[in-house]
Amino acid sequence: MPANLTPQYLEADRKFKTATTPQDKLQALEEMLATIPKHKGTEKMQADLKRRIAKLRDQMQQRKGAARGRPSFHVDKEGAGQIALVGAPNVGKSTLLRALTNAQPEIADYPFTTRVPLPGMMTYENVQVQLVDLPPITAEVSEGWLFAIIRTADAAALVVDLSTDDFLVQTEQVQAGLGQTKLAIAAVPREPNEKPGLVVANKLDVAGAAARLQRFREFIGDRMAVFPVSATYGTGVEDLRRALFGLLGVIRVYSKPPGRKADNSTPFILRRGATVLDAAEAIHKDFVARLKYARLWGKDEYQGQMVGREHVLEDGDVLELHA
């Protein structure tokens, strides 16, 4: 090439090609313009760079303007609980939503494909759990409503991309973005601002994924459980369903009318730690005052014996209430 491009220019060009945010792209283009040798042979390239910078600035400005007038989004909860899909751009959040639910999100091989929240219902055994696909979190982009949705969700799944060497940097950026609004995701939340969560290590099918998974496990330690999956091929997705349901901290209890069988298809969803009395309230408000005794079928020794009002229930218990 007659232009005699400098190593600095080539470095800036490389940065542009790997940039994932408009801000990074703009910065790289400006560096390219600053470092391109200024002579006749590069005049066309200089003009082209200036044009691209102007266009990108315009687009970013428009996006900002649109953000100001844009309504904020909210997703009404449905099912046994709501779990937000959180992560950097292009990690596969929407692909995961498609793999786990009947929703049909837009999926594309470039960042910022998802711009509004999209809910989908995930079936786990006989319960429905609501997953909410969200736009990505980056160091620069942070829309208030996005964090509000995460804050009000019952739990969060942090999606990590095993196909790129940037996976740790991306994760740190997402955590920093959450931190700016005082949010965090943790296996065992200790504060109100911490969401119960787990990590979905996605794109397990790509070359190099296993080694990156290993590095990720070392990075995250016991702060969160890691579930390796391929959203595209469905690997690991069934284990993930169970773990996502587990995040909700709820149990399923079945009501059995005396002398009849329990309806196993429609559990009552109660918080973990709920008692017979809580179940009675959920099954029928009237039972609370009138409850004389209850019989329980469940794990181990519970094969129909009487239990007290304060007895703590477990997932899968069958309760026969006598008023």
Contact footprint for ligand GTP (CB under 6 A)? 87, 89-95, 107-109, 111-114, 136, 202-203, 205-206, 230-232
CB 75 within 8 A of CB 83: no
CA-CA distance, 32 to 26, in Å (whole number)?
10
Judged by CB, which is closer to ligand GTP: 21, or 130? 21
Residue number, 130 or 255, with CB nearest to ligand GTP: 130
- Residue 22 interacts, among ligand GTP, Mg ion, none and using kind-specific CB cut-offs from 5 to 8 Å, with none
Answer with the entry of ligand GTP, Mg ion, none that 170 interacts with (C-beta below 5 to 8 A by kind).
none
Residue 53, SS3 per DSSP: helix
Taking the least distance from each CB to Mg ion, the nearer of 93 and 203 is 93
> By CB under 5 A, what part of segment 81-100 binds Mg ion?
93-94
- What are the angstrom distances between the C-alpha of 323 and each of 97, 225, 230, 274, 290? 44, 43, 50, 19, 5
| CB-nearer residue toward Mg ion: 42 or 90 | 90
Among 23, 35, 113, 235, binds Mg ion (CB under 5 A): 113
As measured in angstroms, the least distance from the Cβ of 248 to Mg ion is: 23
With CA atoms as reference, report the closest residue to 131 among 39, 24, 27, 244: 244
Candidates 107-115, 116-124, 162-170, 284-292 — which segment interacts with Mg ion by CB under 5 A? 107-115
Where do the DSSP E strands lie in 106-221? 118-124, 127-133, 155-161, 184-186, 194-202
Q: Do residues 229 and 209 touch, judged by C-beta distance below 8 A?
A: no
Interacting residues toward Mg ion by CB under 5 A:
93-94, 113-114
